[in-house]
């Protein structure tokens, strides 16, 4: 275990029960290795465009090594949370967020978030982002790296609103630098939605 993880002393599994902006009940919890079936089903339920925006490819199911990487959260080098629809049969996965440590940069992690299409525009992406930011802050991360396609204007607008700055480009992919403390403060400023308040409360963040 790294010094960062030892200092945070976080439990292996955490859950946040909350509601989306329309009142839909969701459970946001840490991703486990036995979530593979849920994860594969959730990715398959995304539209081709949403998968392309998230994985930079439109394949219906990512190759096994990608799934293994997404399931390989350890709460330190890889922090991952998933959202489950509490009221739907089988409680399917409806979104996920990841922060994976950058090689040689112990205080920076690559950030990604995805929500299945049926749950777009309900505030879920914002809840997942708040969750990973607060968890990453506890774990000692200072900044996120976020890659997005240049055509993904919604994602670009979202990370820029949180304080991200464009720092690089590779072909059609843009790299943003997002300071974790500033992003948390940006979300704290709009903490009126009940879901965000629940997330902050779960991390005992004032």
Q: How many CA atoms lie within 13 A of 122 on its CB side?
A: 20
- pLDDT of the residue at 155: 96
Q: Write out residues in the chain with pLDDT < 70, as ranges.
A: 1-12, 191-192, 206
- pLDDT of the residue at 92: 94
- pLDDT of the residue at 191: 64
| DSSP string over the chain | --HHHHHH---S--EEEEE-TT--EEEEEE--GGGHHHHHHHHHHS-HHHHHHHHSS--SS--HHHHHHHH---SSSEEEEEEEETTSTT--EEEEEEEEEETTEEEEEEEEEEE-GGGTTTTHHHHHHHHHHHHHHHHT--EEEEEEETT-HHHHHHHHHTT-EEEEEETTEEEEEEEHHHHHHHHHTT--SHHHHHHHHHTT--
Instruction: List the domain range (segments joined by +) for residue 150.
Output: 3-202
- pLDDT of the residue at 50: 94
- pLDDT of the residue at 1: 34
Instruction: Specify the number of domains making up the chain.
Output: 1
- pLDDT of the residue at 7: 40
Q: Which residues pair with 100 in a beta bridge?
A: 78, 110
- pLDDT of the residue at 12: 61
- pLDDT of the residue at 204: 86
- pLDDT of the residue at 8: 45
Question: What CATH number has the domain bearing residue 25?
Answer: 3.40.630.30
- pLDDT of the residue at 163: 98
- pLDDT of the residue at 61: 80
Distance CA 201, CA 195 (A): 10
């Amino acid at each position: 275990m790294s010094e960062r993880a030892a200092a945070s002393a976080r439990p292996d599994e955490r859950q946040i029960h909350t509601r989306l902006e329309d009142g839909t009940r969701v459970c946001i919890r840490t991703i486990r290795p036995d979530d593979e079936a849920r994860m594969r089903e959730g990715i398959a339920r995304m539209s081709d465009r949403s998968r392309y925006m998230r994985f930079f490819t439109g394949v219906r199911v990512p190759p096994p090594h990608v799934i293994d990487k997404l399931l390989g959260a350890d709460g330190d080098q890889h922090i991952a949370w998933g959202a489950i629809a509490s009221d739907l049969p089988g409680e399917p996965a409806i979104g996920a967020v990841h922060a994976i440590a950058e090689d040689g940069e112990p205080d920076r992690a690559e950030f990604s978030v995805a929500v299945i299409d049926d749950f777009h525009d309900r505030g879920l992406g914002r809840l997942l982002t708040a969750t990973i930011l607060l968890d990453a802050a506890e774990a000692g991360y200072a900044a996120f790296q976020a890659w997005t396609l240049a055509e993904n204007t919604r994602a670009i607008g979202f990370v820029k609103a949180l304080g991200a700055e464009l720092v690089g480009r590779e072909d059609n992919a843009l790299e943003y630098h997002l300071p974790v403390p500033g992003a948390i403060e940006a979300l704290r400023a709009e903490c009126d939605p009940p879901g965000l308040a629940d997330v902050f409360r779960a991390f005992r963040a004032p």
